[in-house]
Structure 1
């Protein structure tokens, strides 16, 4: 069977690219061995956001006296929380499957791999050819080589989303985005949470001012952090798991009902026929150029599998960029401006360069900060903990934003839009913002320059 484009993998990068290509008049054959939607919909972004919302409600009820409501202590129905999560995922999966019924899209629910540089072979043995092949196979949760990592009760984020109870004691190895979101969620549900992180700070890729403040607030919520902690082994001790680690040279251990391994994700490069096609890759992902092309003409790699930026929205826009490149369309998508967020309580969001990156690259910059506690909307919401940090270059152009506080993910998106239009802090000062809104924090920060 022949088509204009073959896509292997129907996560956000795969299915959104298929729909976009079809709208542009290209015929597409799309393969997915599991369910359409990929990691984001089934094992990541969406299910965790459902749990984040339930955790937010739990916190609101706990603090209801502050808002003038007196209620008895609520009982958490964890079964219902997980049911709702599954309902949301099912609803969105159905929506994606509807989109894929486009007349120019052939959706095949089978595993597929490259047969050679021009051909893909399906699980059932059928061969498919196309002028252009996109690899969008995503990533898998890492399991580090720690003794006892395969014991029952030692889970990755994938299995954590299907547990049937709230653990009394939860130990999380890794304090990146995934680990912190689960820590925040299950602390709200009543778990005792201990976090072990090898690096000096949590959220190693975020601005240090943001990660330090987030750690302070989460610590006040009762989450226990141990940075510079190297996990040595995990063993079963009766009904508990015992995690052994060294912390700043001292041997330590902690007990847990469940141990969550949250040390990142690995590009899914195995068993997809990369060697058959002669594609260059490593454990860090498939090698690509600025247009997402591999070393083999006509073959591209988008999303987690190329290791550039493991975010669902990055995959979607990489796919759009590829299709435009194929069609010769002038594409101005700036893949160096990709906002990111961690949905803890409070949230953290970022886009562009951090202060540390500016120093490392020798980029002249100016940085200014504004606190949430000076914002009327934040105070009225009962969310005074927060920081906004803007970074501008020597010409005043905004090159970075780092926000910690309520709705940080939404606030950083405004800055992302401004950065795409090369806006200066002087221009931001003159843009009228509605009052009272959290977005005024951005303008107030710009006025500090």
Structure 2
């Protein structure tokens, strides 16, 4: 039997970061991956493919230049699904090559096959050729990720009625599409296809979308979507999805409304890929969505020596946070000291336009009873915004009236997922509004919106009667 200090099941963001961290600490590490190539959902069907698709769509359509040249402007007049896949395959090959090299240079062993527990410290791995091996581990990390939720009443056919994995394999771009689910994945794909001039309708049973995002940002985002003729239907569940003899899809809503489109994308949730792990053998039980409960500080499960990280543990289900979770879990598993993660992490939604947020929303600040003030900057107020032809996008910051510290930063618009890191740093360093007022930002940049929003809040709050250097001190 093969014996290792640390065995990782899954090679997505959490798994690969954990494996490399443990290897750098001198441990004997094995990664078990059931896919034919390393990378997990993040590389092959999730994060990297969807973001590559987005970037390709924006480039080929000339989306970013339409502020100058009009909505009819195109870089490529006839865009086909193959145009999108060409860049996607190049990107995926590069990601896999980088990951394979990282494993190789850190001496991380790999094994292809499906893993299942025999007992808390023993795993059985069935390879594609039917060979079965047993592996013993001092500690195990489950980083198996998730797969799309596929309810029985949706007649998925892989061509016209698809889940969020299958959408990457389409042969032709649809002229019309119904997206069921206004979560992160549904909204990302809905806006990407809208940018490709597909007529998109989004159906969501809740009364709004992206409830964890600041309400003002969601309102601005929704306005931008409706302004380009996307249909947003909230508060309605889907009763039935059918494929008509003509090939079109028919979607019947709870209120009797009928929608027709060339394609239906079902993107209403994901489930943990834990069903093949035989968790009962090690004393673990997954919840109804296949997720594993863990200690939020160490990511150890209820069974000592077994850890879980990434999407399989639930919210926030981000590649960035999954990597950090994997690193923390690996250090704890091998007995290495680990610092607590920073209080605030950024959340990025790669829709068109982007949304990114860090810290408290205005609604959360109100619930906590914190006296506050907001500062807002519209991208059109910046010179860089004019140069880029932006007529939308905004940055919002929330400050405590008592301490003047930044409580949250929320952005919708071009480059939001890059810009948010300035606010993230100030949040975690306990910075105040004076940082933005007294600091110098490159000109012209979109980052100048921080200064504009800071001045907006500062003018509303009133000047702090202290010396600048005192106002900028960071409290412990």
Root mean square deviation, CA, Å: 2.3
**Secondary structure of the equivalent of 1:48?**
helix
Match of 2:226 among 219, 223, 227: 219
Q: Which moved more, 1:140-149 or 1:433-442?
A: 140-149
Distance 1:5 1:73 in 2: 49
2:75, 2:412 → 1: CA distance? Answer: 32
2:40 corresponding residue in structure 1: 38
Corresponding residue for residue 102 of structure 2: 99
Please say which of residues 261-270 and 390-399 is displaced more in the overlay: 390-399
Matches for 1:58-207 after TM superposition, within 5 Å: 58-60=60-62, 66-67=68-69, 74-102=77-105, 104-123=107-126, 124-148=131-155, 153-207=160-214
Tell me what 2:473 maps to: none
Which residue of structure 2 aligns with residue 21 of structure 1? 22
Equivalent-residue separation in structure 1 for 2:424 and 2:248 (angstroms): 45
> Structure 2 residue aligned with 1:403, among 375, 390, 411?
411
Contact 2:61 2:75 in 1 (8 A): no
Q: How far did 1:38 drift?
A: 1.1
Question: 2:19, 2:330 within 8 Å by CA — same for their partners in 1?
Answer: no
Unpaired segments of 5 or more residues in structure 2?
459-476
Q: What is the CA distance between 1:65 and its match in structure 2?
A: 9.0
In the alignment, does 2:376 pair up with 1:369?
A: yes
- CA distance change for structure 1 residues 333 and 114 in 2, over 3 Å: closer, same or farther? same
Q: In the alignment, which residue of structure 2 is the partner of 1:275? A: 280
Task: Provide closer, same or farther for how the CA distance between residues 225 and 339 of structure 1 changes in structure 2, counting only shifts above 3 A.
Answer: same
Distance 1:276 1:198 in 2: 38
Q: Secondary structure at the match of 2:104?
A: coil
| Contact 1:116-1:276 within 8 A present in 2 as well | yes
CA contact (8 A) 1:396 1:425 kept: yes
User: What is the aligned partner in structure 1 of residue 257 from structure 2?
Assistant: 252
Which segments of 5 or more consecutive residues in structure 1 lack a partner in the other structure? none
Instruction: Measure how far apart 1:147 and its partner are.
Output: 4.8
Cα distance change of structure 1 residues 367 and 5 upon mapping to structure 2, 3 Å threshold? same
Alignment of 1:281-292 (within 5 A): 281-284=286-289, 285-289=291-295, 290-292=297-299
SS of 2:110 mapped into structure 1: strand
CA distance in 2, matches of 1:315, 1:214: 26
Deviations 1:222-272 (A, max 9, x none): 2111111211111122211100003xxx32011111100111222222111
What residue number does 2:470 align with?
none
Report the CA distance between 1:62 and its aligned residue. 9.3
More off after superposition, 222-231 vs 57-66: 57-66
> Which residue number in structure 2 is paired with residue 426 of structure 1?
434
Equivalent position SS for 1:269: coil
Bigger mean CA offset, 165-174 vs 63-72 = 63-72
| TM-score, structure 2 normalization | 0.88
SS at match of 2:78: coil
Contact 2:24 2:106 in 1 (8 A): no
SS in 2 for 1:286: coil
How far does residue 380 in structure 1 lie from its aligned partner after superposition? 1.5
Alpha carbons of structure 1 residues 391 and 5: separation in structure 2 relative to 1, 3 Å: same
CA distance in 2, matches of 1:93, 1:206: 32
2:7 maps to what in 1? 6
